[in-house]
Amino acid sequence: MVAIARDMEGLCPNAIMLNYTNPMAMLCHAMQRETTIVLTGLRHSVQGTSAMMANWLWYKPESIDCECAGVNHMAWITKFERNGRDLYPRLRKLVATDKAVYEHEVGTRSSWIDTRAVKRAGRRT
């Protein structure tokens, strides 16, 4: 990754690198320490979580209209719709009634589903 950032210094010094690779924090630190490239590290959790939610409802992920607020492990899916229809009521019902879905992910602390890919098995809030 440092070699790519060095190439960017010569080829596109004003570009911003968006790093989606792991280990994200260590790579970003190395590139910031060793090069002059402006960069930020991002996580794939929004795409993964929204696809997982779509699959729970038996929809193809590309058929969902999704909006997210936040970044990395501090992001919430604030809109989850298909053909203009809010799917959150169905998701909340699924979380409340399907033990496998509940144990896989979400908990119900807020009215939105967060994007952290962490199992919270057996922990009700």
> Which residues are part of the catalytic machinery?
44
**Strands 85-86, 113-114: parallel, antiparallel or unpaired by DSSP?**
unpaired
Residue 92: name the closest of 115, 73, 110 by CA. 110
**Which tokens sit at 118?**
């962490």
Residue 63 DSSP label = G
